[in-house]
Amino acid sequence: MLLIVGAIVVAVLGIFFVMNGGLVQTPPRPEIKYGEFPFRLEYEINGQVVVVEDTIICKYKGVGYGISINKKYLKWESCLASGKEIPWDKQVSLLIDEANQIYLYLREASYYLGAQDDDNEWSPVAWSPLIIGIISTDELWDKYNIRIISFEPSPPIENTFK
C-alpha cells in the first residue's frame, strides 16, 4: 500500500514538474531589471493642443511558463510615473471621454529594457476598444479630429542577459 501511495506521489510530482516547464530551458535573465523612460507627446484634439509628459517605469517580473507553447518566457511590467493607468500595459489615453477612449501604443517594457532588437523607425499607433484594429492617422483626424503633432520617447537601454 505504501509503495502504491509513493508511486502516485512521484507521478503527480513528475507531472507537475513537466507542466510547469521543469524540462524546458529557462531564458537568460536581464542584468538591468528596472528603468525609467520619459516621453513627451503633443497632439491636437478639436483645435486644442495637449501636451503629455510622463515617464514609463519598466520592471522585469521574473520567468513565466506558457503551457500552450511549452516555453518559458521573461515577464515584464510597466506603469506611468504619474500614476495614470496604462491599459493592457502599454498604452496612454489620447482622448479622455469614457464613451470614446482612444489609446496610443507606447511599446512594451521588454523593448525599453533591451530585450527586443528593433532597429526599425517606429511611430505611435492609435487604437480604440470600440473598433477592432488600428486607427490610421487619417482616420484619427477625419473621424475623431485628433492629430499627433510629435511623440518623443526615450530610447531603450542596452542590457545584458545571463
pLDDT tens digits, residue range 22-75? 578 899 999 999 999 999 989 898 899 989 899 999 999 999 988 888 889 999
Distances (CA, A) of 5 to 14, 18, 96: 14, 20, 60
pLDDT beyond 50 at 21: no
Q: Is the dihedral of CA 121, 159, 126, 52 positive or negative?
A: negative
At residue 85, the pLDDT reads 64
- pLDDT over 90, % of the chain: 28
* SS3 (DSSP) at 4: helix
The residues, any chain, with a CB within 8 Å of residue 141's CB and separated by 6 or more, are: 147
Instruction: Locate the domains of the chain by residue range.
Output: 27-153
Question: Residue 139: what pLDDT?
Answer: 84
Q: What is the pTM of this model?
A: 0.73
Residue 154 has pLDDT above 50, yes or no: yes
Label residue 149 left, alpha or beta by phi (over 0 means left) and psi (-120 to 50 means alpha). alpha
CB burial of 63-83 (b: ≥16 within 10 Å; e: otherwise) equals eebeeeeeebebebebbbeee
